[in-house]
Amino acid sequence: MSKSIRWFGPKRIGWGVRPIHPMGYLVLVISIAGLIAGINFIVTGSSFVVGILIALVSILFFIIVSALTFDKATST
């Protein structure tokens, strides 16, 4: 049985997660772009509700993907 690829691992120093695979970096960039877009909607006054929804979806996307692809055994 093959082992699934893990995209995130523990930080070297401190608490949290870090990308350990190129797909992890892609997920991180997409999440940051969504958060910035949501904040932009809120700050510019375009649509407060849409801005909050975009920001929350990007945060939830990152949390869910990083939790599902986290590798505790990575120690590099």
Domain parsing of the chain, residue ranges: 19-68
The amino acid that residue 52 corresponds to is: I
Residues making up the chain, counted from first to last: 76
Instruction: Provide the token pair at 30.
Output: 């997409």
Q: Above 70 in pLDDT, residue 2?
A: no
Residue 49: both structure tokens together: 């509700």
Q: Crossing angle for the helix pair 22-44 and 48-68, nearest 10 degrees?
A: 160
Q: Are 25 and 33 in contact (CB under 8 A)?
A: no
Give residue 49's pLDDT: 93
Q: Average pLDDT, stretch 54-69?
A: 94
What pLDDT is stored for residue 27 in this prediction? 94
DSSP structural state of residue 7 = -
